Structure 1
């Protein structure tokens, strides 16, 4: 259909995904006026040039953008339009989080849910730990618990654990005040992420548990509520307990290893470990490896990883040097700080593309 050929409102509705009644409303609002109105019948006609604007309008309304904002986006240059869309989405997310927090308060008052004191932790330390451990989560509709953070509290420690089945991260924190009880549950990871900025700005955070969630209480700030996930968390303790002894240990500069991983050209890589040190190669062995100075004990090994598995495990390690405990090319590797063991990640290797 040539751009100047007129189409009746029914055809235009089919082309744009809008109903005829919606098009009449948007025409009356001045957002997509018809190109021509028959003076006798009152029939409305549109051109092909108007399709893109009408489709964009529909898409903006689908993200709940008000009409005044829609008009501003439709008439703006691309850069300004993108900024306005981002601004709207940020407001929607903020309003949703505020509504969720208020709903939690209302439900708590309706049911008079008892709160169980779990622990008091230093805010900045807790925020760092949440961000570090949550790198091991995954979005899986069939297993929503993989997007959660397992929290286990005793009088002596609070342990945070997450796993996506290919990687497991765990960090142990020392409470600022001893807990009065033992408690464990899996907390919604997305809601914890949303609360991190408030947690980081608080000197102390008191964690109180209810049957369906936790409250993060912070002096001078609004309490944050995070829901619990009801699904059973994978038996991470059994997995950790079943790890065999390491046959090779590598200690290497975290900064140097990360730099090599950042510059690595592929999605998969191999580590070749020998008494001469550590070399990072392409998984297919077709590209020359990048040698790194490293302290190595044990036997030589050649082990491969997905970059998306190894990089976050190394980047979240604490301290200047990272330690890798290797058990074999098909066995989990343990990655942790060489001098601080309170954050530990277990990552699964992948099969070599070619034998070493």
Structure 2
């Protein structure tokens, strides 16, 4: 290859994002040998078509991938490389979670502080409730509490609540053993998601509060620890108390309403509520509506929603039929089971002027 098509190690370092010392190391290890070495001066030269390999090499090492695994990925085809990356990330995540759980156990042992029993709940019921309520969480910069799940225990019930400011979901559970006292905390939602699989396979789960976290104690399985979030949870009780008077009520098949939302082509739709039922229409009238039979009472109205707000609120409702309590085109809608009141979701509509 002519010298004018090659670049010295400094120029190649700037192109690839690797330092000259790193390039020398990867050359000596065989991962990225230079295209040419001057036999007299020993200067190393690289070609432009090596930039892509060097860039991927840098990115893999930024993921702390071992050299042997890096070489395997670099020399693999696209499909195999994707599979190897997925396997590596899965292992890293699993190792990190295992380390976090071990660290929590060590801190608990070092602190020598007894845990505070919160409640005993049926594992499958708790797992289902966590998944339902966590649909109302979000990762917002500067507001980590919106990714958390609020747990509140009193002598009779345990209530789970989450909100992303556009939805609020809350579910009340009756514990297998009543809580001994009142307790409240906001638990990291991501860590609860990881724990759900273990919770679901346990007949009973004992919730135990410790400083900065809770333990999910399960018989015959590994206990799970989840962190508490220190930020103040939004005042959801004030929000629920100030919803206003219901002006229309719709009782509809959850399956049929979800199907209509799935068939609607847009990311935003409107519910037209009339005497005959509900019509799912385009917010801008560009597409014909999808009629859904429903029992309705109260005032006729049209209310707009983002699909990402309405669909999860309906899909997580308990039972075959859902009840929608409406308060006007610009007021929050309460969505719950038509015959069970232990899971309630409040969904914010989109204003008719198309601003959220």
CA contact (8 A) 1:4 1:48 kept: no
SS at 2:291's partner residue? Answer: strand
- What is the CA distance between 1:245 and its match in structure 2? 2.0
SS of alignment partner, residue 318 of structure 1:
coil
Once the two structures are superposed, residues 229-263 of structure 1 have per-residue CA deviations (whole angstroms, 9 ceiling, x without a partner) of: 11110000111111212110001111111111112
Deviations 1:184-219 (A, max 9, x none): 010011110111111111111100001210000111
Residue 48 (1) aligns with residue 48 (2): yes
Q: Tell me, yes or no, if structure 1 residue 109 matches structure 2 residue 109.
A: yes
In the TM superposition, residue 155 of structure 1 has moved relative to its aligned partner by 2.0
Q: Secondary structure at the match of 1:159?
A: strand
- Asked whether the 8 Å contact 2:264–2:290 carries over to 1, the reply is no
Output aligned runs, 1:1-356, within 5 Å.
5-353=5-353
**Aligned pair count?**
353
Q: Is the 8 A contact 1:283 1:353 kept in 2?
A: no
Q: Is the CA contact (8 Å cut-off) linking 1:169 and 1:344 kept in structure 2?
A: yes
- Distance in 2, Cα, partners of 1:200 & 1:61: 37
1:61 aligned counterpart, secondary structure: helix
The CA distance in 1 between the partners of 2:35 and 2:126, in whole Å, is 59
Distance 2:42 2:286 in 1: 71
Tell me the secondary structure at the aligned position of residue 187 of structure 1.
strand
Given that 1:150 and 1:161 are in contact with CA atoms closer than 8 Å, whether structure 2 keeps it comes out as: yes
- Give 1:113 deviation, angstroms: 2.4
CA shift, 1:165, in A, is 0.9
Distance in 2 (alpha carbons) for counterparts of 1:205 and 1:37: 65
Q: Distance in 2 between matches of 1:187 and 1:298?
A: 39
Q: Secondary structure at the match of 1:245?
A: coil
Gaps of 5+ in 1: none
CA contact (8 A) 2:247 2:299 kept: yes
Give how far 1:4 is off.
Answer: 8.1
Question: Over aligned residues, Cα RMSD in angstroms?
Answer: 1.3
Cα displacement (A) at 1:107: 1.1
Asked whether the equivalents of residues 284 and 353 of structure 1 are also in contact (C-alpha less than 8 Å), the reply is no
1:3 shift after superposition: 11
Say which SS state the counterpart of residue 293 (structure 1) adopts. Answer: strand
Aligned to 2:250, the other structure's residue is in SS state: strand
Q: Does the 8 Å CA contact 1:284/1:352 hold for their aligned counterparts?
A: no
Structure 2 SS opposite 1:136:
coil
Instruction: Give distance in 2, aligned partners of 1:318 and 1:160.
Output: 15
C-alpha separation in 2, matches of 1:313 and 1:63: 37
Between the aligned partners of 2:12 and 2:350, the Cα distance in structure 1 is 52
Shift of 1:295: 0.4
CA contact (8 A) 1:153 1:184 kept: yes
Structure 2: where are the runs of 5+ without partners?
A: none
Cα deviations by residue, 1:104-147 (Å, 9 ceiling, x for unpaired): 11111222222000011111111111111011011112111111
Aligned mates of 2:3, 2:134 — CA distance in 1: 51
For residue 296 of structure 1, give the secondary structure of its aligned residue in structure 2: strand
1:286 to partner: Cα distance = 2.2
Structure 2 length-normalised TM? 0.97
Q: Contact 1:269/1:282 (CA < 8 Å) preserved in 2?
A: yes
Q: What is the rounded CA distance, in whole Å, between the counterparts of 2:8 and 2:352 in structure 1?
A: 61
Task: Quote the Cα distance in structure 1 between the aligned partners of 2:256 and 2:27.
Answer: 61
Q: Distance in 1 between matches of 2:147 and 2:113?
A: 25
The CA distance in 1 between the partners of 2:52 and 2:339, in whole Å, is 59
